[in-house]
Amino acid sequence: MLSGNRQASPPVWMMRQAGRYLPEYREVRARAGGFLNLCFTPELAAEVTLQPIRRFGFDAAILFSDILVVPHALGRSVRFEAGEGPRLDPIETVAAIDALPTQADAAIFAPVYETLRRVKQELDPAVTLLGFCGAPWTVATYMIAGQGTPDQAPARLFAYREPNAFQKLIDILIDASIGYLSAQLEAGADAVQLFDTWAGTLPPEQFSRWSVEPAQRIVSGIRARIPDARIIGFPRGAGALLPDFVERTGIDAVSIDWASEPGLMRERVQSRVALQGNLDPLALIAGGDALDRAVDGVLSNYADGRLIFNLGHGIQPETPIAHVERMVQRVRDYRG
Amino acid sequence: MLSGNRQASPPVWMMRQAGRYLPEYREVRARAGGFLNLCFTPELAAEVTLQPIRRFGFDAAILFSDILVVPHALGRSVRFEAGEGPRLDPIETVAAIDALPTQADAAIFAPVYETLRRVKQELDPAVTLLGFCGAPWTVATYMIAGQGTPDQAPARLFAYREPNAFQKLIDILIDASIGYLSAQLEAGADAVQLFDTWAGTLPPEQFSRWSVEPAQRIVSGIRARIPDARIIGFPRGAGALLPDFVERTGIDAVSIDWASEPGLMRERVQSRVALQGNLDPLALIAGGDALDRAVDGVLSNYADGRLIFNLGHGIQPETPIAHVERMVQRVRDYRG
């Protein structure tokens, strides 16, 4: 799948495709007893990972998990309360970073690897199995703020004030990510995706230090252990900084958000690596002509090159299933 | 000021420079009895407009007002409650758009023009006086959602579902903006700025329709009345879509946000128009070495061309005044 497709219709899957818009997901979620329980119970996590493949025949299955399992494995309290985003105990001092363990607790991750083994066994070999983790910058923003905030300003401010301590946090997250993603690949993932959801909030110098360099070190670290590892980046909102990200990290593919400028993306990104994206998730909620135009827009912008059709961000809970079916059909019917 | 400066230090001012970080502003705000009262009382609005000029010697004064005075003049309820963002009665139906007046109530704007006349009288002629309004897309996002939301999704979804009704709303806002900005120029503003704070949430096709086309029509409409009108755009987050915005609108200058990629901005934007920006407001909160490096970064990226030194977004209330003084001094000391 990671080579994209220049001939017939491009491969297609959706970020957060195992999610609340699916009744079969909501049923499993209700009996899992808490979001982290769902992530850490291989039988249930494997089931929800496979649900969207059965329903829509997507070309990729993505591990059901969350980017905040890494802080959880570093001993931080992580809570998912109903109707709110995640909550962590915020890191407000240099001392709190100094008190972090340098290694994640491997036992926490064991059920994730078991989930991947189970999914791999049940999955049609033609379907790509993806693992993932949050990129260090994005994970750090939640660890510092204790939650999602507009522009994740608390972490950006902390990094300006205490760059050495912040670098120490990033270094811990880089090491944890290398171990975690490598083990996901060894457990059966065909590729892994690094989600840097908050990369677009960084000025160029900080983007280089907190998004590009960590991604480069993670790619190198994984490939030192697994030379042919395939890795997808997603520095969301990177815009014109994306070509530099691709060049310096040596990543195999990148996701792009829905606001990307097509000319730059084709000439300076898709010319080097496969592109994944970038339908506006709100067009998928709207459906009808707006959806058809948006799907056609992605295809006309990018399907001449290596494209993995996807959304520009995760699917939202209120999305009608019929709109997903319409999108998949329209992508499958595409003939260049 | 709008020509920027290629020789000595660039002109400097700050978005939201009349604001809560200043004790003299808080004092006037406390006795104004409500935010809209402050905007619509020329004596007080003129006073807070002039305060940062007296304190810091900025090269531009910007009218103290708010982008939501336009929906207010279209008969919508606009409330500013303490500790929260603005609240409007949301527009949820096509009928609510059909019920809007096609013309803003000119009497609402009269005190704004009086504020500009008063400021102009008191201001050193070497200081540029700026007026402003919100761009139609950004104003519409607040009118639809009734408040600020992450990514202003309600308006984007409304525009997908009801493009004709949404176009009608945009058309009303374009007409109101042309009248309002033209009258600001006639009342003494040397230039006006069009704030499209939420432009970066739009996919390219929607950016073209809801941000570029309205800006182009506003620029043309103003220049039909005032041929030498000078207009600054700020489609925040436009990234690689900014060159097209500049080319199609015929605008005189653009503000850029702190996450902009310098190479693209220099080669494809600053080569055509003056750039205004783009210090990260969080670097200004942090102060010290982080601030010095961030100031030097803006200067080294852009001061060889036409630059108006500014922030990449508005100054935040918790910013220490000493940091603003340090920033201004460092810009003034710059010698190319």
Cβ distance B292 to B303 under 8 Å?
no
Determine the straight-line distance between the first and last CA of chain A, rounded to whole angstroms: 18
Which amino acid is present at B47?
Answer: E
Q: Which of A207, A264, A280 sits opposite B240 (nearest CB)?
A: A264
Which of A202, A206, A292 is most worth mutating to test chain B (most B CB atoms within 10 A of its CB)? A206
What is the distance between the alpha carbons of residues A167 and A157, in angstroms, rounded to a whole number? Answer: 13
The two structure tokens encoding residue A277 = 């994206």
Residue of A nearest to B151 (CA): A150
Q: What percent of chain A has pLDDT over 70?
A: 99
Which helix (H) or strand (E) segment holds residue B234: the answer is strand B231-235
Q: Give tens-digit pLDDT for A127-157.
A: 999 999 999 999 999 999 999 988 899 999 9
Domain A23-332 has CATH 3.40.50.300: no
**Residue B144 touches chain A, beta carbons under 8 Å:** no
User: Buried b vs exposed e over A306-334: b needs ≥16 C-beta within 10 Å?
Assistant: bbbbbbbbebbeebeeebbebbbebbeeb
Q: Which of B205, B260, B293 sits opposite A297 (nearest CB)?
A: B205
At B135-187, the pLDDT tens digits run 999 999 999 999 998 889 999 999 999 999 999 999 999 999 999 999 999 99
Instruction: Kindly report, residue by residue over B240-255, the tens digit of the pLDDT.
Output: 999 999 999 999 999 9
Q: Does B235 touch chain A (CB under 8 A)?
A: no
Residues of A in contact with B312 (CB under 8 A): 203
Does A161 contact B286 at a Cβ distance shorter than 8 Å? yes
Q: pLDDT of B61-114, one tens digit each?
A: 999 999 999 999 999 999 987 777 899 999 999 999 999 999 999 999 999 999
* Cα gap B108→B73, rounded to integer Å: 6
Q: Answer for the pair B180, B229: CB distance below 8 angstroms, yes or no.
A: no
Q: Report how far residue B275's alpha carbon sits from residue A202's, in angstroms, rounded to the nearest whole number.
A: 19
User: Which of chain B's residues have a Cβ under 8 Å away from the Cβ of A212?
Assistant: none
Give the start-to-end residue ranges of the domains of chain A. Answer: 23-332
**Prediction pTM value:** 0.96
Residue in B160, B280, B285 nearest the CB of A290: B160
Known catalytic residue at A223: no
- B241, B265, B285, B311: best to mutate for the A interface, most A CBs within 10 A: B241
| DSSP of A193-222 | EEEETTGGGS-HHHHIIIIIHHHHHHHHHH
pLDDT tens-digit series, residues B110-138: 999 999 999 999 999 999 999 999 999 99
Q: Which residues pair with A87 in a beta bridge?
A: A79
CA triple B96-B98-B102, angle to 5 deg = 115
Is the CB of B260 inside 8 Å of chain A's CB atoms? Answer: yes
Q: Which residues of A touch B240 (CB under 8 A)?
A: 239-240, 260-261, 263-264
Question: d(Cα B247, Cα A330) in Å, to the nearest integer?
Answer: 34
Tell me A233's DSSP state: E
Owner of token pair 């925040």: B236
Question: Does position B1 have pLDDT exceeding 80, yes or no?
Answer: no
Cα distance between residue A277 and residue A310, in whole Å? 4
What is the spatial distance between Cα B256 and Cα B270, in angstroms, rounded to a whole number?
11
**Across the interface, do A261 and B239 touch by the CB < 8 Å criterion?**
yes
A29 is catalytic: yes
A282 touches chain B (CB under 8 A): yes
